[in-house]
């Protein structure tokens, strides 16, 4: 409610971008006037052609300002609706000027929009790189439903994916030529195909650009780190009496890394830990939020955490008191480990255990090139060709080698480095070995590098035939992605090196394995203490892993659109078309990663392909035209039949109504069926193997140890199916020129959603009678469980609903122009449940705050533009129910961004200097993640939700002539 009051008092609640022009693919019907934002929308009258009514040449209203959405073709969630006001599906449009005022680059600016919270970028390095897609790609994630449920388009066409997950890297698009971004916030599968469950994000390029423009920028944080610079240049010109045109564009960007150690908030060690006094009946919270949480099951020099007596493993209170909590200093000296408070066995508050913060920003280098050419062969026929190439390289440190719990270093009693007093205690208690918990900071962190190379080639045509427009294109795209993991630690070699003994023949310390195989190359290593690693030890225990993937996409599409006939209410317009897509992907990995031989970062290989055939039709039918009250009613319907080579056919459809009640007040609503088809990664991606313990209800809840589990892809997956309801209104009152607002309700329910159950959940549901899940378990002749195949399954349901607000106001003020805009979203429900598993409510928790908003005020006078942006993230619960935590409230956060732009008079050229300050007040992010530091590394903030860099200043210049 606090946000609502603030928006109301500022008079900035929500003009839907349906009031703005937005671009559809070249297959869409009609054009939109450039004044679609600033002036009244063309409405069409009885007997008048929809396309004529929307012809820019026929509309003499003033042109929209540069900060709005000047354009000529629109994306509205429909291939026949030709004006944003008439769109039955809500759409948010952000012009290039607004994007420039929000952040120096477009991908960062988009991530600040409320609807795209959860989108990734270069500043969000992943903890679990896997070889399927670059972990620092810039992606779009509408509604936080996942990047694979958001369809990204470039000028209305599917760009190549940056990996086998099918997602595109928007940072590879020609940033300087993007004139606006259209965000269809609702199901649009009938119009655009699979993946549009959450909606569509379409990047509209200025393919009519003439002239030359260039930009150079330089940035750094006020902490003195994270330096970045970028340069972009574009040129466009006509030829053959302007029947042809050619546009070329290129860019380069470099970003220095930011390590977590360079931020105080990241070093404070916030984490949630298990409450040691919690029971199901005492009313206490399950988790406790505390500062200075450290790893208690390992130290840099090593700590004794367990022992073995024969086949029996002893830990905790069962371990001899004489061995318990003995740790080893830098030179191997022994001391009693001093615990902190709230010791849980793995972590504790305070104490002498280690921790280190995660990387905040990756080291990034990217280069992109783009070219677009088109030629008008005749008045009724034109052709075009387009090509782009993108290169991106990012790197960041990940994890130190960790030996924790059951994966601790096993030290035999005859180990050459074992202190004599420890050996004596072992002998007195009958221990054959001890376990050492160790975080090897001497070795350092493994370094992950992502390299992506993307190529896209497109050619197509447009023809006017008998009053109909025919569009067609062929596109070939491919992306080659390489993951390099350097400074890795080979687990088998490390354990062999730690198993050191005295060679009885020479008296030298050697690996036990070398006694029987002297030429095996093993180099003994002392795990007690922090002695420097020798080069010989590093060569033997270390290594580098890799994953090389290639994803290819070929698309052929044809669309015919036009007016079928006229009724008393106007023209009946339709579009029909067909599309064929062929997709393939493969991942090749190094032999050690393939067997999960490294301690961390073990990508897995895979390969597969499928093709898609689609046919669609859409129709716009004017139902009513009148005067004064109830001026118009229009119906929009669409249907698409899609046939997948892997899972067969599926039908999507959409029904929509729009109505103008009085001048400026429009109602709209849609009901649609949408799909998200499994991608190459879902169907043929990597699988991983683990060993777990299972409580077996078929054997009187006996615990079965060493059960093999396999998780990952499933070639038998079918498309996810969604039903979407959207309803709302937009209003542009004539008594307040320049002001408008909209409010839209949405509800999306996804069935057959793809998810993975744990091995225990699979066994439990099998016991409950689900025979389809029983088929995923394997038992021996004695009935004992041996394998559980925990592959991805279509067994989840996701339901999400909420409200979107979008408003703007523009007016002349003190000889200049003031523009205000507010975009807000309220998440009411985000429920997910899987078969037999309790539903979980995410709305208002974790990464899903109920309220998010972006408010922007821009004032332009003469050549000076000042833009102030306020980004709001609402307060929310820290833990996801039914989990409870003692400090459950994450406070609301406001981020302020300031941009100042100054144009300089210089003849025909338009030079401009600019200054952008993001996070003006250097606001630290609140601890929000429920990270428990089990591997020693600490990421206490959700980097997809909050700013983790701090105050960042960018200066630069632009010129256009």
Domain boundary among 531, 556, 586: 531
478, 515: one domain: no
Tally the residues of the chain: 961
Number of neighbouring beta carbons within 10 Å of residue 534: 11
Judge whether 831 lies within some domain.
yes
Give the total number of structural domains in the chain.
Answer: 2
Output the pLDDT for position 909.
80
Higher per-residue confidence, 162 vs 205: 205
Q: pLDDT tens for residues 278-295? A: 988 998 999 999 999 999
Judge whether 276 lies within some domain.
no
- pLDDT reading at 72 higher than 50: no
DSSP states along 647-688: TEEEEEEEEEEEEEEETTEEEEEEEEEEEE---HHHHH--EE
Q: Which of 113-127, 165-179, 841-855, 860-874 has the lowest mean pLDDT?
A: 113-127
Segment 903-930 mean pLDDT: 89
Output the pLDDT for position 943.
86
Output the pLDDT for position 49.
30
The H or E element that residue 624 is part of is: strand 606-625
Q: Residue 54's pLDDT band (boundaries 50, 70, 90)?
A: very low
67, 168: one domain: yes
3-state SS assignment for residue 900: strand
Judge whether 593 lies within some domain.
yes
3-state SS assignment for residue 106: helix
Output the pLDDT for position 121.
72
481, 517: one domain: no
520, 656: one domain: no
Quote the DSSP letter at residue 882. T
Contact criterion met (CB below 8 Å) for 653 and 641: no
Q: pLDDT tens for residues 452-475? A: 999 999 999 999 998 899 999 999
Distance CA 164, CA 108 (A): 24
Contact criterion met (CB below 8 Å) for 659 and 630: yes
Judge whether 783 lies within some domain.
no
243, 371: one domain: yes
Q: pLDDT tens for residues 648-657? A: 999 999 999 9
DSSP states along 495-532: HHHHSEEE-TTT--EEEHHHHH-TTS-------SS-PP
Q: Could you tell me which residues come within 8 angstroms of residue 328 by beta carbon, excluding any fewer than 6 positions away?
A: 299, 301, 302, 303, 334, 528, 529
Q: Residue 27's pLDDT band (boundaries 50, 70, 90)?
A: very low
Q: Residue 82's pLDDT band (boundaries 50, 70, 90)?
A: very low
Beta bridge partners of 389: 369, 455
916, 804: one domain: yes
746, 607: one domain: yes
Calculate what percentage of the chain has a pLDDT beyond 70.
89
Output the pLDDT for position 2.
39
- Residue in this structure with the two tokens 């007093």, named with its chain if needed: 421
Output the pLDDT for position 167.
82
Domain boundary among 503, 531, 559: 531
Instruction: List the one residue out of 454, 315, 319 whose CA is nearest residue 393.
Output: 454
Instruction: List the one residue out of 1, 118, 12, 6 whose CA is nearest residue 851.
Output: 1
Segment 140-145 mean pLDDT: 89
Output the pLDDT for position 139.
85
Q: Could you tell me which residues come within 8 angstroms of residue 871 by beta carbon, excluding any fewer than 6 positions away?
A: 112, 853, 854, 855, 894, 895, 896, 897
Query: Can you give the pTM of this predicted structure?
Result: 0.87
Q: pLDDT tens for residues 493-535? A: 999 999 999 999 999 999 999 999 999 999 999 999 999 999 9
Q: Residue 15's pLDDT band (boundaries 50, 70, 90)?
A: very low
Number of neighbouring beta carbons within 10 Å of residue 242: 10
State which residues form the domain around 339. 262-271+291-358+402-439+490-531
Domain boundary among 465, 499, 531: 531
Quote the DSSP letter at residue 923. P
Contact criterion met (CB below 8 Å) for 580 and 475: no
CATH of the domain at 87: 2.40.170.20
Query: Which of 1-10, 156-165, 557-566, 708-717 is most confident?
Result: 557-566
Contact criterion met (CB below 8 Å) for 178 and 70: no
Calculate what percentage of the chain has a pLDDT beyond 90.
60
Output the pLDDT for position 236.
96
Judge whether 112 lies within some domain.
yes
Judge whether 336 lies within some domain.
yes
Distance CA 173, CA 150 (A): 17
Q: Residue 781's pLDDT band (boundaries 50, 70, 90)?
A: confident
429, 457: one domain: no
Distance CA 22, CA 18 (A): 8
Distance CA 222, CA 643 (A): 54
Greatest extent of the chain over all pairs of C-alpha atoms, in Å: 106
Q: Residue 910's pLDDT band (boundaries 50, 70, 90)?
A: confident
Instruction: List the one residue out of 89, 87, 95 whose CA is nearest residue 37.
Output: 95
What's the mean per-residue pLDDT of the chain?
85
95, 241: one domain: yes
31, 173: one domain: yes
Judge whether 761 lies within some domain.
no
221, 88: one domain: yes
Output the pLDDT for position 192.
85
Q: Residue 591's pLDDT band (boundaries 50, 70, 90)?
A: very high
354, 365: one domain: no
Output the pLDDT for position 743.
94
Judge whether 689 lies within some domain.
no
């Amino acid at each position: 409610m606090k946000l609502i009051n603030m928006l109301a008092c500022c008079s900035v609640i929500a003009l839907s971008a349906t009031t703005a022009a937005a671009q559809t693919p070249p297959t869409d019907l009609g054009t939109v006037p450039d004044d679609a934002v600033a002036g009244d929308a063309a409405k069409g009258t009885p007997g008048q052609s929809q396309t004529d009514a929307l012809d820019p040449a026929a509309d003499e209203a003033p042109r929209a300002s540069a900060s709005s959405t000047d354009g000529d073709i629109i994306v509205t969630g429909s291939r026949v609706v030709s004006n944003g006001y008439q769109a039955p599906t809500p759409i948010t449009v952000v012009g290039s000027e607004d994007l420039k005022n929000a952040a120096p680059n477009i991908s960062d600016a988009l991530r600040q929009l409320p609807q795209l919270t959860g989108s990734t970028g270069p500043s969000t390095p992943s903890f679990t790189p896997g070889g399927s897609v670059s972990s620092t790609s810039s992606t779009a994630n509408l509604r936080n439903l996942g990047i694979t449920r958001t369809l990204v388009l470039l000028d209305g066409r599917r760009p190549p994916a940056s990996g086998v997950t099918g997602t595109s890297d928007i940072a590879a698009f020609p940033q300087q030529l993007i004139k606006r971004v259209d965000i269809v916030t609702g199901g649009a599968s009938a119009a655009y195909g699979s993946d549009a469950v959450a909606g569509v994000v379409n990047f509209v390029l200025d393919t009519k650009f003439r002239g030359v423009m260039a930009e150079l920028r330089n940035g750094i944080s006020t902490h003195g780190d994270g330096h970045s610079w970028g340069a972009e240049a574009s040129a466009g010109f006509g030829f053959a009496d302007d029947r042809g045109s050619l546009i070329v564009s290129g860019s380069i960007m470099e970003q220095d890394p930011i390590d977590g150690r360079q931020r105080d908030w990241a070093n404070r060690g916030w984490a949630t830990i298990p409450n040691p006094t919690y029971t199901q009946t005492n009313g206490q919270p399950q988790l406790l939020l505390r500062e200075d949480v450290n790893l208690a099951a390992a130290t840099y020099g090593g700590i004794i955490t367990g022992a073995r007596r024969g086949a029996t493993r002893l830990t905790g209170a069962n371990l001899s008191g004489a061995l318990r909590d003995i740790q080893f200093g830098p030179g191997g000296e022994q001391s009693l480990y001093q615990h902190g408070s709230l010791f849980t066995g793995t972590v504790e508050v305070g104490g002498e255990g280690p921790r280190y913060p995660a990387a905040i920003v990756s080291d990034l280098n990217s280069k992109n090139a783009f070219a677009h050419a088109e030629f008008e062969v005749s008045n009724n026929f034109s052709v075009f060709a387009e090509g782009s190439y993108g290169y991106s390289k990012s790197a960041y440190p990940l994890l130190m080698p960790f030996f924790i719990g059951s994966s601790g270093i096993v030290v035999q009693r005859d180990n050459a480095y074992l202190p004599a007093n420890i050996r004596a205690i072992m002998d007195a208690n009958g221990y054959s070995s001890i376990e050492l918990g160790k975080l090897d900071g001497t070795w350092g962190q493994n370094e992950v590098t992502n390299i992506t190379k993307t190529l896209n080639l497109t050619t197509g045509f447009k023809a006017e035939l008998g009053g109909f427009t025919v569009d067609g294109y062929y596109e070939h795209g491919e992306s080659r992605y390489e993951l390099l993991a350097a400074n890795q630690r080979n687990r088998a070699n490390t354990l062999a090196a730690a198993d050191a003994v005295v060679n009885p023949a020479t008296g030298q310390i050697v690996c036990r394995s070398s006694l029987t195989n002297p030429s095996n190359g093993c180099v003994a290593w002392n795990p007690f203490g922090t002695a420097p690693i020798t080069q010989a030890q590093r060569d033997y225990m270390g290594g580098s892993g890799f994953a090389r993937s290639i994803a290819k996409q070929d698309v052929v599409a044809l669309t015919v659109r036009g007016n079928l006939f006229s009724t008393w209410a106007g023209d009946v317009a339709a579009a029909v078309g067909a599309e064929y897509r062929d997709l393939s992907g493969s991942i090749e990995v190094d032999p050690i990663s393939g067997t999960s031989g490294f301690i961390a970062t073990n990508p897995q290989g895979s390969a597969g392909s499928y093709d898609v055939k689609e046919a669609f039709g859409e129709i716009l039918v004017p139902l009513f035209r009148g005067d004064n009250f109830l001026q118009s009613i229009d119906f929009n319907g669409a249907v698409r039949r899609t046939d997948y080579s892997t899972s067969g056919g599926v039908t999507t459809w959409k029904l929509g109504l729009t109505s103008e009640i009085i001048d400026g007040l429009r109602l709209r609503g849609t009901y649609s069926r949408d799909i998200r088809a499994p991608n190459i990664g879902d169907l043929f991606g990597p699988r991983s193997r683990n060993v777990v313990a299972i409580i077996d209800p078929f054997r009187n809840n006996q615990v079965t140890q060493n059960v093999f589990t396999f998780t990952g892809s499933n070639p038998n997956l079918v498309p996810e199916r969604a039903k979407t309801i959207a309803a709302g209104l937009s209003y542009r009152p004539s008594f307040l020129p320049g002001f408008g607002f909209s409010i839209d309700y949405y509800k999306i329910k996804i069935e057959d959603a793809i998810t993975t159950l744990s091995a225990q959940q699979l066994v439990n549901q099998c016991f409950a009678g689900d025979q389809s899940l029983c088929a995923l378990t394997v038992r021996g002749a004695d009935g004992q469980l041996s394998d559980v195949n925990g592959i991805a399954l279509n067994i989840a349901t996701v339901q999400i609903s909420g409200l979107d607000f979008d408003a703007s106001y523009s007016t002349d003020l003190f000889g200049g122009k003031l523009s205000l805009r507010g975009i807000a979203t309220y998440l009411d429900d985000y429920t997910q449940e899987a078969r037999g598993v309790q539903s979980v409510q995410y709305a208002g928790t974790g990464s899903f705050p109920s309220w998010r908003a972006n408010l922007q005020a821009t004032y332009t006078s003469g050549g000076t533009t000042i833009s102030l942006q306020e980004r709001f993230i609402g307060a929310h619960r820290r833990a996801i129910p039914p989990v409870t935590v003692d400090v459950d409230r994450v406070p609301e956060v406001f981020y302020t961004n300031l941009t100042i732009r100054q144009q300089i008079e210089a003849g025909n050229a338009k030079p401009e200097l600019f200054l952008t300050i993001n996070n003006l007040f250097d606001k630290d992010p609140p601890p929000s993640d429920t990270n428990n530091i089990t591997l020693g590394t600490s990421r206490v903030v959700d980097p997809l939700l909050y700013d983790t860099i701090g105050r960042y200043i960018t200066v630069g210049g632009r010129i256009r002539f």
